[in-house]
Amino acid sequence: MIDVLTALFNLLIYPGLLFISILGLVYEWVDRKAVARFQNRMGPFHTGPRGFLQPLADFIKLMAKEDITPAWADKILFAAAPLFAIVIPTFATLYIPIAGKPVLPPFEGDLILIISLTTFFTITAFIAGWSSMNRFSTIGAIRAGLQLLAFEIPMFIAVASVAMSANSLCITTIAQKQIFEIQLAGTTYKILLPYALLQPLGFAVFLIALQAELERVPFDIPEAESEIVAGWLTEFSGKKLAFLRLSSDIRLVLGTALATAIFLGGGNGPILPPIIWFLIKATIIVIISAMLRALFARIRIDQLVIGAWKYLIPLSLVQLVFTKLLMVVM
């Protein structure tokens, strides 16, 4: 009985659904404040201390707004899209060891499961745009699909070279494998050598592909505000839009948690409990992502696909081959 209650608590409250949603709102705040500071302005300021409650205020406001479905939209798919958009990233995040152990039992291959769930999310974005029956949504949906073609393969290859190096396809194991034991003057020291240092090229490729997966500048092409209103999100309003925006926050948590777990040795570190280390490392990745957001203009979809296949894929392949050679040599 206690096990069932503990499992439910883990699943729903901490570190499950509620914690991930709240963490998503917190990261949205960190991201907005960081981008604002890079642009020499203030970001959210009034709601809560230093604007901390602004994402929550946005969510509550959107829940209270009128929910309009276009007359010609496919009603079932239109209503289902925000649900899929929330469920898929949250389910994927439950496999990442945020607080030491993941919520759902880890298994060999959960890395592949999580990466493939990102493909499912893009299909959801496509369904959302396609069912809206709006010319801007259609363009946004098609661009989301094209963007998947661009970023998916470099991301997989970068992750594959890490998995090859750790000889495992389980995220928890990969996070643990970044702790090395060395013998110095008789005593055994444990040091953390994150794969970000050992495979920097793969880390850089993963961060760029992550920026494209999360649809943030310079790759926020499916949602390009000045060109196609809001892309595949255009026709959504009220509760549906609230959940779609929450889903983009949860995807931010998913992406940064994945990057932390497999590249930064998430959770492992001296003295502090695993959850604190995890949050610190994930916040660093959020700030790097915010920096990339402040630094560039938005590029066109054809330039993204061409650039990804011309530059990102060869770089990630170089990393893969180099890692394999190093493993054979050592």
Partner 1 sequence: MEFRTWVQGIFLVERICGICNTPHTTCYVLTVEELYGVEAPPRAQYIRTIINELNRIHSHLLWVGVLGMEIGFWSYFMYIWRDRERVMDVVELITGNRVTTSAMLIGGVAYDITPEMEGPIRRAMDYLEERTKFYKKVFETDPTIRARTQDVGVLPTSVAIDLCAVGPTARGSDVKSDVRVDEPYCAYGEVPFNLVTYPTCDVWARAMVRIDEVLESINIIRGCLDKMPSGPIKLRLPRVPPPGEAMNRVEAPRGELLHYCKSDGKEKPYRFKARTPTLANIPALCEMLKGYYIADIPAIISSIDPCYCCTERLIFRDINSGKIWTMSYDELRRYSLKWYKGNGGRRN
Partner 2 sequence: MAMLREIWKNFPRKPATLKYPFEKLELSERYRGKQEFNPDLCVGCGLCARECPALAIEMVVTEDGKKRPVFHLYRCIFCAQCERICPRGAIKLTKFYELAAYNKESLIMATTKVKK
Check: CB of residue 57 under 8 Å from CB of residue 47. Answer: yes
> What is the identity of the amino acid at 79?
A
Q: Which residues from 119-138 bind partner 1, rule CB under 8 A?
A: 133-135, 138
Report how far residue 297's alpha carbon sits from residue 102's, in angstroms, rounded to the nearest whole number: 37
Among 11, 22, 36, 299, binds partner 2 (CB under 8 A): 36
Check: CB of residue 226 under 8 Å from CB of residue 330. Answer: no
- Torsion sign over Cα 195, 196, 201, 202: positive
Binds 54: which of partner 1, partner 2, none (CB < 5-8 Å by kind):
none
Among 14, 22, 32, 38, binds partner 1 (CB under 8 A): 38
Binds 239: which of partner 2, partner 1, none (CB < 5-8 Å by kind):
none
Instruction: Return all residues near 50 (Cβ < 8 A) that are at least 6 apart.
Output: 33, 44
Question: Shortest Cβ distance from residue 315 to partner 1 (Å)?
Answer: 16
Among 182, 191, 295, 327, binds partner 2 (CB under 8 A): 295
Helices 239-263 and 17-38: crossing angle in degrees, nearest 10, is 90
Report how far residue 99's alpha carbon sits from residue 45's, in angstroms, rounded to the nearest whole number: 30
Report how far residue 97's alpha carbon sits from residue 328's, in angstroms, rounded to the nearest whole number: 30
Q: Which residues from 80-109 bind partner 2, rule CB under 8 A?
A: none
Answer yes or no whether residue 18 interacts with partner 1 by CB under 8 A: no
Query: For residues 248-285, b (16+ Cβ closer than 10 Å) or e, as one string?
Result: bbbbbbbbbbbbbbbbbbbbbbeeeebbebbbebbbeb
Cα dihedral 93/98/101/104 (nearest 10):
-20
As given in the structure block, the two tokens for residue 233 are 């999100």
Among 11, 14, 32, 38, binds partner 2 (CB under 8 A): 38
Nearer to partner 1, 72 or 189 (CB): 72
> What is the identity of the amino acid at 54?
Q
Answer yes or no whether residue 300 interacts with partner 1 by CB under 8 A: yes
Which of 322, 328, 325 lies closest to 157 in space, CA to CA? 322
Strand partners, 99: 101
Answer yes or no whether residue 291 interacts with partner 2 by CB under 8 A: yes
- Using CB under 8 A as the criterion, what x/- string covers residues 40-79 for binding partner 2? xxx--x----------------------------------
Q: Which stretch binds partner 1 (CB under 8 A): 22-30, 89-97, 221-229, 281-289?
A: 221-229
Nearer to partner 2, 33 or 281 (CB): 33
Binds 37: which of partner 1, partner 2, none (CB < 5-8 Å by kind):
partner 2
Nearer to partner 2, 35 or 228 (CB): 35
Answer yes or no whether residue 160 interacts with partner 1 by CB under 8 A: no
Answer yes or no whether residue 302 interacts with partner 1 by CB under 8 A: yes
Q: Which stretch binds partner 2 (CB under 8 A): 38-46, 76-84, 184-192, 225-233?
A: 38-46
Question: Shortest Cβ distance from residue 40 to partner 2 (Å)?
Answer: 4
Nearer to partner 1, 38 or 309 (CB): 38
Question: Shortest Cβ distance from residue 45 to partner 2 (Å)?
Answer: 7
Which residues contact partner 2 by CB under 8 A? 36-42, 45, 291, 294-296
Which residues contact partner 1 by CB under 8 A? 35, 38-41, 71-72, 133-135, 138-139, 217-218, 220-221, 224-228, 294-303
